[in-house]
Chain A
């Protein structure tokens, strides 16, 4: 009986112990990995989570893996060798379907950014930390969320309104106006009110979004909404801030060693390494295909996707230095490196009637000097001061102030030509409008704006129609078919697809 008593007592005690300790017993955290439950606790965590949003902007798929929007414009064709990425030809000539992978990649990659911003907006408010830093991080997150959503809205139109890290499985699309009015504009207004000026950041934080970036983005958003009054106000706020100026030389804005220069308002910095170590494949994808001689040694730079068209080459005015600064021709010497090009890529192709159809050309704005991962170090310019000036010019012209419009426009032109005589003096509204549009094309060539500008200003069918653009359909990207399938139709398709 001695054993009986002691055993039963022990057994009962043990049961008691474990029934009280049960909750803890089953609480087995992953080893070697943090979980969301314990991560968002410190100021450092808040900064890390915010940095991760910027990381999403460096992802290759943010532009679909290729300069999709430019290939859809009259500024670029597919490029590379004919067999490589042959599917992109359908994007080039507007014969794509909703199953084309690039459109689901862009959609998904932009929503990664939205999600990471939402995580910060959900988690950071509860973290005990420096309040002013907290406000800034939240403002950064809201700017970035707006920026991702702006890309989504102008590409896809109606999109699901996702304001949480874990949205419902079958969230339908919301009207694009709602996306602008309830997400993009309020986010940017919050960012504008709470972000530091560029000059107020520590030098180590250069590249974080600024009040000027918020103003500039807001100006662009208003422009896309046709609200020229507010567009002009916001653009002028950037201009009068004194934070930005145009570098004397246009080419300097895209120089390989240029980092967050005076003309840069929103720029995604990158390091000459692979993605994990800070690189951005955007520059490598468009880098010179074939051979470039670096110090006499043959070096590969990239795949050569996104080939500047003969059309834009011919469009540059005689003597516009921006052509040479934007387009690489085979045989060019750039920063001492000699472009040999790709033997497998026809140098020049001709149409049936003997006209030059394509030249072997590359986007010089992404050119980086050096070997190995050099091209991965290209800093993608999301918003330049020149763009803001042209927006201000466009808005002022629409608001009936052609004098002011010319002033802004000519700042860009005279800088480009480095010649006060290059200034335009046309003041008739519609003629000036077209000149501003034309200036946007050459100033912002290959920066992903042209297609959206054509659609925004109603010129897409005229300009792109001959390239296959279909009215009332191709103004927007197709919603990815996979998204419609996965949500069993809760997500709907755009017209014409």
Chain B
């Protein structure tokens, strides 16, 4: 039973544990007995009449009376009673020989009255008019990672989580309902009321401390966050103590990480063969060394430790949650790892019946060795070069670098200290009013020391003088949030009102020093003081911003049937231009709980039926703290005097845009929720339509404005649409001792640029996606998804000279080269027709792929049988493309992927891969480098075993669980790189693989003990 509750009602874990504890202590009694008791409901312990009480597996039963009391005779002490009532979760209680069993029904967690956290408060899920997805903290922990967002992957509809890198300490990228801007498209993160900007900002947070995570998706839910809500909001609530004895939870797991799939590359002899075709004289094919650089750079398996201990409990006066965590992840590449120690103290103190204060305070210390970035080097390194010279030194990889040397000379350590917390006071008065004031601080201090010793591997891989860069950065914010809440039930009317006033200030600064020629390389001597040059360079700068907001929300529910939510927020921000200091962000949501209509009251099929819709406006204020200012450029010196001395000069730099303002998203959402068969089957589906206007893009300004050649100023002028469907289907049931649940979710995204630079004429598209070799492979243009790949389409390989002569070609193309598609012919009306015009030029380039998936999905399966549980999470995406840029980078004669084994070697030999060449005409941006990024992955599989109660009891434990877990066990994909998850850069440069640190498979064992 406990397992079942664990799986389906994990938020009530503590309560369940207590029931379990109580049940376990009842001694065994004889057969044939009469059981009596009272059934009450959870929130207020009011008795419930009319509850069905049935002996499980039989038709015998009774109904509770007006006071919620019942009386039933069971035939055996091992019988179980099933309590069921509409709107509440079924509850099965083993009699275990007792004569008195009181039951508290929980409101049905999966449907009607689940409580969800919304902005500045909580709400019954049944009263929501907005689209909010919730995930339990327990579930987040199913992925061992320093960043809790990893646990979201594949779990919630509308939420796309992409590992930006497998490097320990790297934070994932998260997109909610598509890519809503060309700039920073991250959602807002709210941790216990502290507002954070990016997924990196929550690296300090220990997943073990998280009670729940709510993702607010539509405008009805996000508008309360106004100018910061446009890309969705992730609300994270940390654990609180609950009334009762001290409860100690210890949770330890240890895992080993491996690289699941290596990239297929040519081996030494194969490479020589290919190189020979390029330059026959230079590459003899006898006695070729064969080096597998991937084998050499990976240090597998790499360990991962996650250990947490928490103590929680409380009285009616005080509740506490005290926790400590240790997380350490080694990298599969040496000299990359991440370590975190986190401490947390969440307490509340009831000073009187109506006044309480509390705090949520967390301190985390992190240490990270930044990864040496050798994936690209190992990919490129020639396999016909032995890694070491005879004397043991690193061998030269001609014109490229030896990745092993890069690893050996990498010393880039980043130490972080994060303190995030708040103090709050909450006063209830006049029965219905609650006044809450919360003051929070978030402070990040980062110290990085990057040291490069003197070394020589080759003329292109050497460092003559050692370098040291030491940097201190601090980022501090404070928040003061004051809300007044009004809650009232008047017969069938339920009213809730919220007024708030908040202030927030942020400031970041850095100070950096650089020197050269350190006397020693020891870690303890890596200080600027030890540099041996005259000039030590220093640099320092800062930024600050402030936001002041008024917010309100009104919820009205009539008879739990008709729902109305109106929210609004006024944000005044220091980052907005002088003409737009204030922004107003309204939303309206409507809901209809059809299942509560009288005409559906008596049906046995539908347990929930709700229709909701919302409209609203939100903003994205990440436009840069100083973007609106015309800053003074210094260093604009004149030269005067007979001695020709510099005379300091300074004046206004680039013009300011006084009209700079937030990017504005208008979102429309319709949702349908259906529950069948007493909540066993639940379906939730939404259609969303988000249009973001006034997206900031740099626009060239006229030269006569005097800003200089090639200068652009940011303006609010682009527009992007995201729309699609999302759904979540959950089925849960049990058959005897076997219980299971199946949850599937999916999201479709249609992303389209509606407008670019309407104020100008020349900026009809934005070019991006640098491969660092001079090539830019994306184009963001009206009618296309943001950051689409742009290049030549390929129509095979030119087979012979006749073929070359008869085909339009680019200069320098010949036999064995790609047949690029000629498609820019004009139709009769003078428009592009997509037909050939007989010549090939840059104008023939076309859109050849999009990094934005059409469909994102997840499938979660959970099975429980007696003490065992098995969970499997699959997730994947469909329809996105990856630009495999590392294949196109040819900085020198480098290694090739195995697909080059199928290259063209003579007429008829290949029509898909061109002749052997390195760079040049076959390496222009084209379809050749675009690969399908669709994949499906077994994200986690967990097998758990809960120690039987009696055994646990003997050990003085209330609960004990051991588990085996595999993470990222396998990934089915056609993509040829390590992982189809590509670190998302800016939205205009997404999905480009230039050598991603592989995402590891993790196999772990863990134990979770509560006493």
Mark A residues whose CB is within 8 Å of B.
Answer: 3-4, 7-8, 11, 14-15, 18, 22, 25-36, 39, 45, 47-56, 58-59, 61, 104-105, 107-109, 111-116, 118-120, 159-160, 162, 165-167, 169, 171, 203-208, 259-260, 268-271, 276-278, 377, 480, 482-483, 485-488, 491
Q: Are A35 and B642 in contact, with the CB atoms below 8 A?
A: no
Cα A273 to Cα B505 with chains together (Å)? 43
Question: In the complex, which of the residues B646, B650, B706 contacts A271, with contact meaning CB atoms closer than 8 Å?
Answer: B646
- Among B24-32, B63-71, B633-641, the stretch that binds chain A is B633-641
Identify the interface centre among B546, B638, B647: most chain A CB within 10 Å of its CB.
B638
Of all chain A residues, which has the CB nearest B582? Answer: A26
Question: In the complex, which of the residues B355, B642, B704 contacts A171, with contact meaning CB atoms closer than 8 Å?
Answer: B704
Q: Are B640 and A116 in contact, with the CB atoms below 8 A?
A: no
Residues of B within 8 A of A203 (CB): 641-642
Of all chain B residues, which has the CB nearest A30? Answer: B626
Q: Are B650 and A270 in contact, with the CB atoms below 8 A?
A: no
User: In whole Å, how far is A141's beta carbon from the nearest beta carbon of chain B?
Assistant: 11
Of all chain B residues, which has the CB nearest A480? Answer: B703
Other A-B pairs, 5, CB within 8 Å; known A8-B435, A112-B707 = A26-B573, A120-B651, A269-B641, A483-B702, A486-B761
User: In whole Å, how far is B578's beta carbon from the nearest beta carbon of chain A?
Assistant: 10
Q: Are A28 and B425 in contact, with the CB atoms below 8 A?
A: no
Residues of B within 8 A of A113 (CB): 706
Q: Are B704 and A483 in contact, with the CB atoms below 8 A?
A: yes
Q: Are A207 and B355 in contact, with the CB atoms below 8 A?
A: no
Q: Are A26 and B546 in contact, with the CB atoms below 8 A?
A: yes
With an 8 A cutoff between CB atoms, is B605 at the interface? no
With an 8 A cutoff between CB atoms, is B649 at the interface? yes
With an 8 A cutoff between CB atoms, is B602 at the interface? no
- Among B535-543, B892-900, B937-945, the stretch that binds chain A is B535-543
Of all chain B residues, which has the CB nearest A32? Answer: B541
Cα A477 to Cα B78 with chains together (Å)? 100
Given A52-B649, A486-B700, A205:B548 Cβ within 8 A: no
Residues of B within 8 A of A207 (CB): 638-641
With an 8 A cutoff between CB atoms, is B676 at the interface? no
Of all chain A residues, which has the CB nearest B699? Answer: A486
Identify the interface centre among A35, A49, A52: most chain B CB within 10 Å of its CB.
A52
Identify the interface centre among B572, B574, B629, B709: most chain A CB within 10 Å of its CB.
B709
Q: Are A208 and B651 in contact, with the CB atoms below 8 A?
A: no
Q: Are B427 and A486 in contact, with the CB atoms below 8 A?
A: no
Given A36-B656, A115-B707, A278:B543 Cβ within 8 A: no
Q: Are B703 and A11 in contact, with the CB atoms below 8 A?
A: no
User: In whole Å, how far is A176's beta carbon from the nearest beta carbon of chain B?
Assistant: 15
With an 8 A cutoff between CB atoms, is B735 at the interface? no
Cα A159 to Cα B507 with chains together (Å)? 44
Task: List 11 contacting pairs A-B, 8 Å CB cutoff, sorted by A.
Answer: A18-B501, A25-B548, A28-B544, A32-B540, A48-B648, A109-B709, A119-B652, A171-B702, A269-B641, A482-B700, A483-B703
- Interface 1/0 per residue, B282-295 and A, CB below 8 Å: 00000000000000
User: In whole Å, how far is A384's beta carbon from the nearest beta carbon of chain B?
Assistant: 18
Q: Are B702 and A487 in contact, with the CB atoms below 8 A?
A: yes
Residues of A within 8 A of B503 (CB): 18, 25
Cα A295 to Cα B722 with chains together (Å)? 68
Cα A33 to Cα B505 with chains together (Å)? 19
Tell me the residues in window 438-471 of chain B with beta carbons closer than 8 Å to chain A beta carbons: none
Tell me the residues in window 539-567 of chain B with beta carbons closer than 8 Å to chain A beta carbons: 540-546, 548
- Interface 1/0 per residue, B739-771 and A, CB below 8 Å: 000000000000000000001111000000000
Residues of A within 8 A of B646 (CB): 271, 277-278
Residues of A within 8 A of B640 (CB): 54, 204-208, 269
With an 8 A cutoff between CB atoms, is B42 at the interface? no
Given A51-B648, A278-B637, A111:B626 Cβ within 8 A: no
Interface size, B (range): 35 or more
Residues of A within 8 A of B541 (CB): 31-33
Q: Are A26 and B572 in contact, with the CB atoms below 8 A?
A: yes
Q: Are A22 and B548 in contact, with the CB atoms below 8 A?
A: yes
Q: Are B437 and A11 in contact, with the CB atoms below 8 A?
A: yes
Residues of B within 8 A of A31 (CB): 507, 509, 541-544
User: In whole Å, how far is B613's beta carbon from the nearest beta carbon of chain A?
Assistant: 35
User: In whole Å, how far is B348's beta carbon from the nearest beta carbon of chain A?
Assistant: 15
With an 8 A cutoff between CB atoms, is B391 at the interface? no
Residues of A within 8 A of B656 (CB): 36
Q: Are B427 and A111 in contact, with the CB atoms below 8 A?
A: no
Q: Are A491 and B632 in contact, with the CB atoms below 8 A?
A: no
Cα A358 to Cα B912 with chains together (Å)? 49
With an 8 A cutoff between CB atoms, is B705 at the interface? yes
Cα A47 to Cα B640 with chains together (Å)? 13
User: In whole Å, how far is B966's beta carbon from the nearest beta carbon of chain A?
Assistant: 48
Give the interface SS of chain A, mostly helix, strand, loop or mixed. Answer: helix
With an 8 A cutoff between CB atoms, is B677 at the interface? no
With an 8 A cutoff between CB atoms, is B354 at the interface? yes
Residues of B within 8 A of A53 (CB): 638, 649, 651
Cα A491 to Cα B43 with chains together (Å)? 72
User: In whole Å, how far is B642's beta carbon from the nearest beta carbon of chain A?
Assistant: 5
User: In whole Å, how far is B305's beta carbon from the nearest beta carbon of chain A?
Assistant: 40
Q: Are A486 and B760 in contact, with the CB atoms below 8 A?
A: yes
With an 8 A cutoff between CB atoms, is B644 at the interface? yes
With an 8 A cutoff between CB atoms, is B482 at the interface? yes
Of all chain B residues, which has the CB nearest A48? Answer: B650
With an 8 A cutoff between CB atoms, is B408 at the interface? no
Cα A53 to Cα B700 with chains together (Å)? 22
User: In whole Å, how far is A442's beta carbon from the nearest beta carbon of chain B?
Assistant: 29
Of all chain B residues, which has the CB nearest A33? Answer: B631
Residues of B within 8 A of A260 (CB): 642
Question: In the complex, which of the residues A25, A35, A108, A480 contacts B629, with contact meaning CB atoms closer than 8 Å?
Answer: A35
With an 8 A cutoff between CB atoms, is B838 at the interface? no
User: In whole Å, how far is B538's beta carbon from the nearest beta carbon of chain A?
Assistant: 12
Question: In the complex, which of the residues A4, A61, A115 contacts B709, with contact meaning CB atoms closer than 8 Å?
Answer: A61
Q: Are A35 and B632 in contact, with the CB atoms below 8 A?
A: yes
Q: Are B707 and A270 in contact, with the CB atoms below 8 A?
A: no
Q: Are B636 and A51 in contact, with the CB atoms below 8 A?
A: yes
Q: Are B639 and A111 in contact, with the CB atoms below 8 A?
A: no
Q: Are A36 and B630 in contact, with the CB atoms below 8 A?
A: yes
Residues of B within 8 A of A205 (CB): 640-641
Q: Are B641 and A206 in contact, with the CB atoms below 8 A?
A: yes
Q: Are A30 and B629 in contact, with the CB atoms below 8 A?
A: yes
With an 8 A cutoff between CB atoms, is B581 at the interface? yes
User: In whole Å, how far is A159's beta carbon from the nearest beta carbon of chain B?
Assistant: 7
Of all chain B residues, which has the CB nearest A485? Answer: B762
Residues of A within 8 A of B701 (CB): 169, 486
Q: Are B760 and A55 in contact, with the CB atoms below 8 A?
A: no
Tell me the residues in window 617-636 of chain B with beta carbons closer than 8 Å to chain A beta carbons: 625-626, 629-636
Q: Are A54 and B435 in contact, with the CB atoms below 8 A?
A: no
Of all chain B residues, which has the CB nearest A162? Answer: B704
- Interface 1/0 per residue, B328-366 and A, CB below 8 Å: 000000000000000000000001101100000000000
With an 8 A cutoff between CB atoms, is B708 at the interface? yes
With an 8 A cutoff between CB atoms, is B523 at the interface? no
With an 8 A cutoff between CB atoms, is B429 at the interface? yes
With an 8 A cutoff between CB atoms, is B102 at the interface? no
With an 8 A cutoff between CB atoms, is B645 at the interface? yes
User: In whole Å, how far is B472's beta carbon from the nearest beta carbon of chain A?
Assistant: 15
Cα A55 to Cα B704 with chains together (Å)? 18
User: In whole Å, how far is B734's beta carbon from the nearest beta carbon of chain A?
Assistant: 48
Q: Are B635 and A276 in contact, with the CB atoms below 8 A?
A: yes
User: In whole Å, how far is B151's beta carbon from the nearest beta carbon of chain A?
Assistant: 36
Q: Are B636 and A52 in contact, with the CB atoms below 8 A?
A: yes
User: In whole Å, how far is A373's beta carbon from the nearest beta carbon of chain B?
Assistant: 13
Residues of A within 8 A of B775 (CB): none
User: In whole Å, how far is B444's beta carbon from the nearest beta carbon of chain A?
Assistant: 16
Q: Are B762 and A7 in contact, with the CB atoms below 8 A?
A: no
